[in-house]
């Protein structure tokens, strides 16, 4: 099971509509398919979604760091030697999604070799998760129509609303419109992508105090240390750290500083190995988690649901598992299906998925 080759293949799939939020907008999923080949002929796969406005990575930088630094360092190691693999990856700072994709591709290869699903290897708690859908910036009536469609067509009853615009009334009004249209039995929470100051976020949460919001995520940038503390102390809505917690040390800092009360885990950012470390740290500190989304395609979504369903605490809340529906196509032979507001973990060894070679040939951008 020694690694003999690593591929970082760029591909681009258009979104059905631009996805807009406080830190930027995206029109095309310009991702990287990572494939880890072993000497036994097994190939593990994963997906790296670059987010330059969040982590500084681009499609080009992900390919470059994998091809020139990571692949030469891990070729010759066994996919089972995860600690040694991470020792190689950790010599280079940052580059979280490149590292995460390599980690998850190795786990996929391990599962395929053992004939066991990755979700079972990670913990095997359940075989599905409830789905949360992200509603991005748009006029109120468009946001409401999207949420109603997701509820009626897919049974989704949890919605993450992007906020962070100025004036804050744009977003407080949108949340109020969503609550009015969806009723009280649907869960709403907000994600600011660091778009507001602490005073703006405090005012916004006060204005929405009667809407029954369940979470507030990254309303304020991480470097506004005192502001984040004041906001968390002021509100009864749990505050979720996301972009500010790319590794376990940052998780500890945010929780112990009182800057957040919950943590968003993204397998696209911390892989399976790092995500498990974050999850266990949160369990030890008594902090809840939510499974987040990096605007992943179907490959990344499978990784999220596989990890989230594997553990009791990460499966307790709805996971952000529907962003792939915003893409016009994907690379899998068997598309994912959200039914009754839930997404099941694919069955089969490893991640339980296969890449469609024709679709990969159509959407890859390096040929």
Catalytic one among 162, 276, 298, 342? Answer: 162
Catalytic status, residue 243: no
Catalytic one among 30, 146, 200, 217? Answer: 217
Radius of gyration from C-alpha coordinates of the chain: 20
Catalytic status, residue 2: no
Catalytic status, residue 224: no
Q: Residue 247 is encoded by which pair of tokens?
A: 């590794």
Catalytic one among 47, 108, 191, 342? Answer: 191
Catalytic status, residue 191: yes
Catalytic one among 30, 99, 266, 320? Answer: 266
Q: Give the whole-angstrom CA distance, residue 245 versus residue 243.
A: 6
Q: Give the whole-angstrom CA distance, residue 332 versus residue 354.
A: 6
Catalytic status, residue 160: no
Comparing C-alpha atoms, which of 223, 298, 311 is closest to residue 268? 298
Q: Give the whole-angstrom CA distance, residue 112 versus residue 131.
A: 26
Comparing C-alpha atoms, which of 356, 348, 364, 361 is closest to residue 120? 348
Alpha-carbon distances, residue 249 vs 44, 193, 245, 275, 286 (angstroms): 29, 21, 8, 13, 16
The phi and psi torsions of 299 (rounded to 5 degrees) equal -65, -50
Comparing C-alpha atoms, which of 265, 270, 249 is closest to residue 86? 270
By CB atoms closer than 10 A (0-12, 13-18, 19+), residue 93 is exposed
Q: Residue 111 is encoded by which pair of tokens?
A: 């599962």
Number of Cβ within 10 Å of residue 152's Cβ equals 9
Comparing C-alpha atoms, which of 190, 129, 182 is closest to residue 317? 129
Catalytic one among 294, 298, 326, 342? Answer: 294
Instruction: Name 8's Cβ contacts closer than 8 Å, sequence gap at least 6.
Output: 32, 33, 34, 48, 62, 63, 66, 67, 71, 98
Catalytic status, residue 294: yes
Q: Which residues are catalytic?
A: 162, 191, 217, 242, 266, 294
């Amino acid at each position: 099971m020694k690694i003999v080759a690593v591929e970082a293949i760029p591909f681009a799939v258009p979104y059905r509509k631009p996805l807009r939020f406080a830190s930027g907008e995206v029109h095309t999923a310009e991702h990287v398919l990572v494939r880890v080949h072993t000497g036994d002929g097994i190939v593990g796969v994963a997906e790296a979604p670059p987010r330059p406005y969040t982590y500084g990575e681009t499609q080009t930088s992900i390919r470059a760091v994998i091809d020139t630094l990571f692949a030469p360092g891990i070729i010759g190691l066994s996919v089972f030697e995860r600690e040694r693999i991470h020792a190689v990856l950790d010599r280079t700072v940052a580059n979280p999604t490149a590292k995460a994709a390599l980690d998850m591709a190795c786990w996929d290869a391990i599962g395929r070799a053992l004939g066991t699903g990755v979700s079972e290897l990670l913990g095997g708690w359940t075989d599905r998760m409830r789905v949360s859908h992200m509603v991005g910036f748009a006029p109120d009536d468009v946001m409401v129509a999207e949420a109603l469609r997701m509820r009626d067509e897919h049974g989704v009853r949890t919605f993450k609303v992007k906020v962070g615009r100025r004036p804050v009334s744009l977003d407080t009004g949108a949340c109020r419109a969503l609550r009015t249209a969806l009723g009280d039995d649907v869960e709403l929470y907000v994600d600011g992508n660091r778009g507001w100051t602490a005073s703006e976020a405090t005012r916004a949460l006060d204005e929405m105090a009667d809407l029954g919001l369940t979470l507030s995520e990254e309303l304020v940038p991480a470097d506004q240390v005192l502001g984040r503390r004041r906001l968390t102390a002021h509100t009864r809505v749990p505050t979720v750290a996301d972009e500010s917690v790319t590794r376990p040390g940052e998780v500890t800092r945010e929780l112990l500083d009182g800057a957040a009360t919950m943590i968003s885990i993204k397998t696209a950012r911390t892989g399976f190995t790092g995500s498990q470390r974050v999850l266990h740290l949160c369990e030890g500190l008594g902090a809840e988690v939510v499974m987040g989304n990096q605007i992943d395609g179907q490959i990344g979504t499978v990784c999220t649901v596989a990890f989230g369903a594997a553990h009791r605490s990460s499966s307790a809340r709805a996971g952000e598992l529907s962003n792939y529906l915003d893409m016009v196509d994907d690379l899998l032979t068997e598309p994912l299906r959200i039914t009754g507001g839930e997404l099941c973990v694919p069955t089969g060894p490893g991640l339980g998925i296969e890449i469609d070679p024709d679709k990969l040939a159509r959407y890859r951008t390096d040929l």
